Amino acid sequence: MNSTGTPRHFLNIDDFDYAELRGMLNAATSLKTRLKDGDRPKLLEDKVLAMVFERQSTRTRVSFDVGMRQLGGQTIMLSGNDMQLSREETLTDTGRVMSRYVDAIMIRILSHADLVELSEGSSVPVINGLTRRAHPCQVMADLLTFEEHRGKIKGAKVAWVGDSNNVLHSWVNAAELFECELTIAVPDEYHPEKDLMLDIEKAGKWVKLIEDPREAVEKADLVLTDTWVSMGDTDAAERRRVLKPYQVNTSLMSLANKDALFMHCLPAHRGDEVTDEVIDGPQSVVFDEAENRLHAQKAILCWAFGVDVN
């Protein structure tokens, strides 16, 4: 709960100011260091996190489960089919009921409106594990990873190449707050939808939208991509055809700074959006990035519960 008695939800990057997000990143760094030193502070002892998944998950499921356990808490894993959601109970009612049983809810659900509805009914913190609109936990892990390798991201040049999706949306929000230059290269066929375009326009000088992937990557400090075919997409063959020029390969990476990092939130479709040479190459930090989901989310959980990490 915050000072007004309302739950501390973590739904979108742009719900926060820079200082709040920086505090979470600092907490993530502290928790990661302590873990590697063998120190596992039981900051969330006796707390129970409900994890609700509409679709399959590897990183989100395991990292939240392990993170909660490392902090001394417990988890309950549920799918939509396990719950009365499959029989059309409203999200508001679900949030009201779950709040009577658990201390926080993490949900991975395609509809962002459904996430918001659940949070409005919940009297305990709700954490966005992924929606079609946003993936804020992923971008917090991305920021943590970049700064571990290259220092503060302020002023860095970041390039996004490929499809416009939820991870990109959260990066647009982060670019404005962290003052890094984000250049987005996407084909006109997959131009950002209205909601994302509004946030791109709001970000002003910090975000630039173009079509040419080579222009976007030139002199970049960080190159990002994601799968071309997301959950629920039915036009896989057409997507691969249109997005082929946006593949991150050694030729494209050669245009970035020589010490540029490559990130992908995973799972990767090798040979589509990225080649083996890049994802397994020396510039790739995708597995550090995946590990940092654990540490970033532990910090987010502590923030949601109002627990001081230090």
Active site residue 150: no
Closest CA to 70 of 306, 309, 310, 294: 294
Report d(CA 181, CA 273) in Å as an integer: 22
pLDDT in tens, 20-78: 999 999 999 999 999 999 999 999 999 999 999 988 899 999 999 999 999 999 999 99
Q: What is the pLDDT of residue 278?
A: 98
Which amino acid is present at 106?
M
CB atoms within 10 A of CB 155: 10
Q: What angle do CA 264, 266, 270 make, to 5 degrees?
A: 85
Question: pLDDT category, 86, cuts 50, 70, 90?
Answer: low
Active-site pick, 293, 295, 297, 302: 293
Q: What is the pLDDT of residue 296?
A: 98
To the nearest whole number, what is the mean pLDDT of the chain? 95
- Residues of the chain with pLDDT > 70, as a percent, come to 97
Active-site pick, 59, 108, 169, 295: 108
Greater confidence, 106 or 87? 106
Report d(CA 269, CA 276) in Å as an integer: 10
Beta strands in the chain (DSSP E): 48-53, 74-79, 104-108, 126-130, 157-161, 181-185, 207-210, 222-225, 261-264
Active-site pick, 9, 135, 169, 239: 135
Greater confidence, 231 or 200? 200
Active site residue 133: no
Active site residue 103: no
Report d(CA 176, CA 195) in Å as an integer: 16
Instruction: Determine phi and psi for 285, rounding to 5 degrees.
Output: -125, 30
Q: What is the pLDDT of residue 84?
A: 66
Closest CA to 243 of 231, 229, 263, 230: 229
Return the minimum-mean-pLDDT range out of 53-57, 79-83, 202-206: 79-83
| Residue 61, helix vs strand vs coil | helix
Q: What is the pLDDT of residue 79?
A: 86
* Contact predicate 106/67, CB 8 Å: no
Q: What is the pLDDT of residue 229?
A: 87
Q: What is the pLDDT of residue 55?
A: 81
Active site residue 70: no
- Residues of the chain with pLDDT > 90, as a percent, come to 90
Report d(CA 139, CA 211) in Å as an integer: 23
Tell me: pLDDT of 3 over 60: no
Report d(CA 216, CA 96) in Å as an integer: 45
Question: pLDDT category, 230, cuts 50, 70, 90?
Answer: confident
Cis peptide leading into residue 125 (ω within 30°): no
Q: What is the mean pLDDT of residues 219-232?
A: 91
* Contact predicate 246/217, CB 8 Å: no
Active-site pick, 138, 247, 283, 297: 138
Report d(CA 119, CA 92) in Å as an integer: 8
Q: What is the pLDDT of residue 75?
A: 98
* Contact predicate 131/156, CB 8 Å: no
Active site residue 135: yes
Q: What is the pLDDT of residue 235?
A: 87
Report d(CA 265, CA 139) in Å as an integer: 9
Inter-CA distances, 215 with 185, 202, 284, Å: 8, 22, 20
Q: What is the mean pLDDT of residues 177-181?
A: 98
Active site residue 82: no
Question: pLDDT category, 11, cuts 50, 70, 90?
Answer: very high
Active-site pick, 65, 199, 221, 226: 226
